[in-house]
Amino acid sequence: MKYRINNQVVLSQIPLGPLAAHIGSFADFISAQGYALYTIHRQVHLAADFSQWLKLKGIELHCISSDHPRLYLRDRARQVQPCRGDAAALSHLIGFLRGEGLIPTEKVSEPRLTPAEHCAQAYEQYLREARALAEATIVNYVPFISHFLKDCFGDGPVTLSDLSARDVVSFVQHQAQRLHRKRAKLMTSALRSFLKYAHYRGEMSLDLAAAVPVIPNWSMPSIPRAISPDQVKQLLEGIDQHTAVGRRDYAILLLLARLGLRSSEVALLELDAIDWNTGTFSVRTKSGLRHEFPLPFAVGKAIAAYLRDGRPVSGSRRVFLRAKAPIRGFRGAGAIGSIVRHALKRAGIKAPTYGTHQFRHGLATEMLRQGASLGEIGDVLGHRHPQTTMIYTKVDLEALRTLALPWPGGAL
């Protein structure tokens, strides 16, 4: 006798055990995540077998823990050839049961922190709550401070009043040798911030921030590597817009190339941020501020095509979603970078880099060559400081040559 779970899955027998009444809801849950029919079948059958095992072991619903799937799979392996996705499938099941409130959330004992880690954690909280710094800044600063405290105090007590200028200078000199110049400057900024924080809290009588060595900063040492307009055109023409993934990738590449968005801004773009009536949209920049952009016709058309004929059905408010289950928004900027790398390789383009920032550089370079001012370029790219935009004055050498005065006395 067959038992129908929903309109997609049929079991050979009625499910038994503590999960029997919830297997249908689980099937609907994973179906809504966009999994293929074969995967839904496999996960539901595994859930039914797991429920039968729980019944044989005398384990009730409220007693199920994350250890039970592991024990079940160990027993199952004695009779059935294990499949690679079995553990992940049962992990989805446990997550579903917890989300529905059917089994309790397990308390994970927090690892015991060393005094240095406690100190770094307090500094992190200060940056987030008192200073309200951008998350990107916090993520970059705190590891340097953890390393500094570990280097100075090991796993023992942290007595910041014992620190000396020699400790600070020694740490910077040692670390700067193995870091890129930009990372080294970031490290020194983090150290100055932490030492000022410690002095402000009264944990240090001396303000050792002044003892942090200065990393040499040559003005605009390198020219940004920019993708050329011809390469952008070739890249866009190589995208197959007849597929859902192609429509998504085409819209993403247009946002990068035509508006110079950062990869994180594209990944986190939400449906509510687009105002179709006014033809504008806004993104949250890395500094945490909102930046409004005009929505060019070609870009809006590409996004609309994806939303209408490519975007999977989902409750997510993100504009761009994963093409494979679980269907959800991208976790971060890395996914956009991956899309760019694959698109460049498929098109056979030897771009300056395989990263996403080359599109910002390419847009700025082209605007400069067409006569845009540095202020206009900075506004488009969302630069907070004019110095950031100044680097693009190095890219248009031909335009700069027209400003050169002739040599007195003519040619020799």
Establish whether the linkage from the previous residue to 408 is cis, with ω within 30° of 0. Answer: no
Residues making up the chain, counted from first to last: 412
Sign of the CA dihedral running 382, 385, 387, 393:
positive
Task: Please tell me which residue in 22, 92, 322, 360 is annotated as part of the active site.
Answer: 360
- Stated as kind and residue range, the H or E segment containing 283 is strand 280-284
**Known active-site residue 383:** yes
Is 224 within 8 Å of 362 (Cβ atoms)?
no
**Known active-site residue 286:** yes
Task: Please tell me which residue in 68, 247, 322, 357 is annotated as part of the active site.
Answer: 357
**Known active-site residue 401:** no
CA atoms within 13 A on the CB side of 341: 8
- Stated as kind and residue range, the H or E segment containing 193 is helix 181-200
**Known active-site residue 392:** yes
329 strand-pairing partners = 321
SS3 282: strand
Sign of the CA dihedral running 360, 365, 368, 373:
positive
Distance CA 20, CA 238 (A): 50
Task: Please tell me which residue in 41, 225, 286, 318 is annotated as part of the active site.
Answer: 286
Sign of the CA dihedral running 10, 13, 19, 22:
positive
Distance CA 76, CA 87 (A): 12
Which residues fall within 8 angstroms of residue 255, CB to CB, at 6 or more apart? Answer: 261, 266, 269, 299
Is 261 within 8 Å of 336 (Cβ atoms)?
no
SS3 312: coil
Task: Please tell me which residue in 262, 311, 322, 361 is annotated as part of the active site.
Answer: 262
**Known active-site residue 357:** yes
Written as six digits, the tokens of 182 are 């930009």
If we measure between CA atoms, which residue out of 212, 221, 216, 163 comes closest to residue 189?
212
* Residues designated catalytic: 262, 286, 357, 360, 383, 392
